[in-house]
Amino acid sequence: MAARMCPDCLRNVPAGKVLAYSNDLVCTECGKSLEISALSRNIAAFTGLIAAVIVWWLASKHYAGDPWALAWVLPVVFSYFAFSIVTPLVLVLIADLEIKSEVVPAPIHQEPPAHHSSH
């Protein structure tokens, strides 16, 4: 199935909706609750991590001998930005949508408080 396609009505869901409402996604045509598959989320996150490591490595080499006191933090900041940009872009390109499965919460079982005699 193509990326960002509703499995029920086979219409494309806009990329902006996939990014903005990834946890509460609803198809614009049929109104079904959708979710992004775990595989798509994992691939996007892994790709973002790879990009972040590459950017960190390149920035670390560039700022290696810099006498500035905060030069060590720039590779971390740049890698954070790389992860924050690459992950959503990959998710938009490969997002496989599924009909959201309803999770039934487990009943809460409370035991009555133990009665202690005051002596």
pLDDT per residue, tens digit, the chain (119 aa), is: 567 788 888 888 888 888 888 788 888 888 888 888 889 999 999 999 999 999 999 988 877 776 777 778 888 999 999 999 999 999 999 888 888 887 666 777 777 666 666 66
pLDDT at res. 34: 87
The closest of 56, 57, 60, 45 to 95, measured between CA atoms, is: 45
pLDDT at res. 66: 67
CA distance readout (Å), 5 to 9, 24, 85: 8, 16, 23
